[in-house]
Amino acid sequence: MTPRVRIAPSPTGNLHIGTARTALFNFLFARKEGGVFIVRIEDTDKERNKPEYEKNIIDGFNWLGIKYDEFYRQSERIDSHKKWLKKLIDENKAYLSKEEEGGNRDEVIRFRNPNRDISFEDTVRGQVSFNTEELGDFVIARSMDEPLYHFAVVVDDFEMNINHVIRGEDHISNTPRQILIQEAIGAPRPKYSHIPLILAKDRSKMSKRHGAVSINEFKDRGFLPEAMVNYLALLGWHPDDDREIFSMKELVEVFDLSRIQKGGAIFDENKLLWVNKEHIKRMPEEERKKIIIEKIIQSEKSKDREWGSGEDLAGKIEPLISERISKWSEVDELMASGDLDYFFEKPVYGASVLNYKGEQEKSDIIRHLNTVGAILQEQDEKELSAEKVKGFIWSYAEKEGRGAVLWPFRVALSGKDKSPDPFVLAQILGKKETSERIKEAVRKIDAETGRK
């Protein structure tokens, strides 16, 4: 039998990471087994449903690469629900009941509970048993035109030939009601797999108070869809080896329902950041560079810089940024922080910062800077790679003391006590700008000591 599975989100809010993870497990199972994955929007809650939420859910699935084979809206299936409600009433398996609530008297439809034990085999949890007597004759519709969740979901699953239900463990308590309704309408029982909930670090259910919970928020913060899929797959499931980085194709190849765990899956954003960084590393180099360079240029366009900017400079500092970020938004944060301003404008700093550990004679600092400047002046601009700059200067630094030479060299270029090494800075800034900054550093020390 061809596996047919579904995700049935309610459009009462944006796509939650829990719903996305459940959809992913259904999708992976369907693709692995050559089955059909269905999205069914459960939009019968007229008061809370909003079309923008439905759009957000579908857009979220598309962004993640979770592509459905069939699509339905529950609200468009009311005629089927009415047909089965009438059948149950005609067969005395359901009945009209007068209910009084808040001074109003309404007629609802109740299911006639046979009050017996229910057991079902769960792929994740083994055999699960319930005594249904405590459920009583439960309501399955407010009226013939308003079926409630338990009834509508059973009818929809039956008519869509859903034969495997993969959903969160919070639905376990719904299963006995649904099995009773399945039996009443003659529907076959699907296989069940109730997957663990996604929990915060305090082991409570993930909610807004723990930070981002909607897929849209993670997208806006610069996470890659491939990384989100990868990380969500590892929440409550693990492969049969130690691999942690997967493409969607690789997940389809290895996904196995038997490897879903029972315990709650703890959401760890630090782990997500690591997974995202790994996927950024695995991107085609040109694609990664293009995204980062565009972000650098966009940031710089809003600033009035004294010294160069543009695509050429952005391309030179891209490798520095690439190795520091775990998500795209960190490029914007890094540019906004001012930590890299020295690439785009001459640094402002005091002469004292040039003194290594505050223990150098000022004449020695000037001598080292002038020597380094003279060495660089002798080199061809085209030869000024970080490796070659290091090769030119290293023997002198080894002789005079690495810290004593390289500290003021680096500070002269960046104006900071923390920055990339001076060889990288010199390569990015170029021969002319590097020489000017070294001369400016010497002038700062001269001005402080009163030398001419």
Q: Is 431 annotated as a binding residue?
A: no
Q: Please count the CA atoms within 13 angstroms of the CA of 172 that sit on its side-chain side.
A: 20
Q: How many CB atoms lie within 10 A of CB 449?
A: 11
- Give the predicted TM-score (pTM) of the model: 0.88
For the 351-449 domain, the top CATH level (class) is: mainly alpha
Q: Where are the domains of the chain?
A: 1-68+196-282, 285-343, 351-449
CA-to-CA distance for 334 and 245, rounded, in angstroms? 26
Please state which of the four CATH numbers 1.10.10.10, 3.40.50.620, 3.30.2320.50, 3.40.50.740 is assigned to the domain occupying 1-68+196-282: 3.40.50.620
- pLDDT tens string, the chain, 452 residues long: the values are 899 999 999 999 999 999 999 999 999 999 999 999 999 999 988 888 899 999 999 999 999 999 999 999 999 999 999 999 999 999 999 999 988 766 677 889 999 999 999 999 999 999 999 999 999 999 999 999 999 999 999 999 999 999 999 999 999 999 999 999 999 999 999 999 999 999 988 888 776 555 568 999 999 999 999 999 999 999 999 999 999 999 999 999 999 999 999 988 899 999 999 999 999 999 999 999 999 999 998 887 767 655 555 678 889 999 999 999 999 999 999 999 988 999 988 999 999 999 999 999 999 999 999 999 999 998 887 778 899 999 999 999 999 999 999 999 999 999 998 999 999 999 999 999 999 999 999 999 988 776 54
Per DSSP, helices labelled H in 147-284 are 149-159, 175-185, 215-220, 225-233, 248-254, 269-282
CA-to-CA distance for 43 and 31, rounded, in angstroms? 26
Is 54 in contact with 11 (CB distance < 8 Å)?
yes
